[in-house]
Amino acid sequence: MIIDFSITQNNHTFSDALILADDHTFTDEEIEAIKQARFDNWYAIITAPTQELAPVDEV
């Protein structure tokens, strides 16, 4: 089972998918919490201070 979702906050939109077993036992509240946790983790990444970019391998 794949649950696509998007969350928008502060002009930042995050689109992701949860991949769950067809017989999963998560409640709706737990699924919403998972979605929010994924958004929060992503939001922390995109708002973290910039790091220097490493050299890129030649292709």
Partner 1 sequence: MANRYWVGGTATWDGTALLKWSTTSGGIGGSAVPTTSDTVFFDANSGAGTVTLGTTGACSTINFTGFTGTFAWGTNTITVAGSNTTIYTQTTSCTFTGTPVLNCTYSGSTNTRTLSCGSVTEANSPSFNISAGSDTLSIAASAGIKNLNFTGFSGILTNNTRTIYGNLTLVSGMTLNAGASTTTFGATSGTQTITSATKTIDFPITINGVGGTVQLVDALTLGSSRTLTLTNGTFNSNAKSVTVGAFSGNNANTKTFTITNSTFTVLSGTSTSGFLLNGSGTTYNVTGSNVVFTTSTAAQYWGGGGSTFPQITMSGTGQLIIGASGSTFTITTLSNTVQPCTVSIISTNTQLNVTNFNLSGTAGNLVTFNSSVAGTARTISKTSGTVNALYLNVQDNTASGGAKWYANSSNDLGNNTGWNIFNNSFLAVF
Q: What is the DSSP string of 40-57?
A: HHHHHHHTSPP-PPPPPP
Place of tokens 């929060």: 40
Is position 20 an interface residue for partner 1 (rule: CB under 8 A)? Answer: no
Is position 10 an interface residue for partner 1 (rule: CB under 8 A)? Answer: yes
String marking each residue 28-57 x if it binds partner 1 according to CB under 8 A: ----------x--xx--xxxxxxxxxx-xx
Neighbours of 26 (CB within 10 A): 14
Which residues of the shown chain bind partner 1 in the complex (CB under 8 A)?
Answer: 2, 4, 10-19, 38, 41-42, 45-54, 56-57, 59
